[in-house]
Amino acid sequence: MAEEMLMDWEAAYQQGDMPWNKGTYAPELDFVLPEGLLAGCVLVPGCGLGHDARAIAAAGLGEVLGLDVAPSAVISASQIPGPVNLRFELGDLFSLPQGLTARFDWVWEHTCFCAIPMEMRDSYVEAVWKALHSGGQLLGVFYLDPKMDERESGPPFGVTRRELDQYFGARFEVAREWAPRAAFPGREGREWVRLMRRRE
C-alpha cells in the first residue's frame, strides 16, 4: 500500500480522529457467531482497535488475527485484554507475507473495503482471495450508502450490490446474502451482508 495511505491512517489514530470507531464490535456478529460462522482461522483486515477481532475470538471458534497498517491502532488493540486465540499484527493486506497467504478459513470484512480508495477494490478482492485457502470463505458487512456530506469525498466509499457482483464475481461465489439484523445507529438500511466462497 502506498506510504501516504499508511501515514494518513496513523495520523488519524494519533490525533484521535476516528469517527469509524464505535467503541464496540459490529452488531451483526451477535447473529453470525451463534450460527457457527467464522469458525476456524479468521483474518480481520483493517482491524483498527480490534473490537470485531476480539468478539470473534471470544466466541472460541478458532484463531483470530487482526491486521492493520497503523502502528498506533495495533499497539492500542494489543494492550486491551483479549482471549489467548487472538493476536494483532502490523501489516498490509495488499502485501501479505508468505506465512499469511492461503492460511485462513475466513476473512471477516467490516469497514476495510469501504475505507480503501475505489481504484484499489480489485486489488482488495485479489488480496483476500490469496489470504484464504482452498474452500475459504469471506463474510462481510458492506457499506452501501455512507450518505456523506456533498463536500466530502470519502472514505467511507459506498458500493452497490451490483458492483459487489462485478468486483467479487470472478474470485468468489455468493453462498448467502441478507440485510443486517442489527446495525449501528444511523447505519440502518445502509449495509448489506454477503457470505462468499472462494473460487479455485
Its pTM stands at 0.92
**Stretch 178-200: mean pLDDT:** 95
pLDDT at 126: 98
pLDDT at 145: 82
pLDDT at 22: 87
The pLDDT tens digits for 27-47 are: 999 999 999 999 999 999 999
Per the CB < 8 A criterion, the answer to whether 27 and 185 are in contact is: no
**Stretch 56-82: mean pLDDT:** 95
Domains of the chain, CATH where assigned: 39-198 (3.40.50.150)
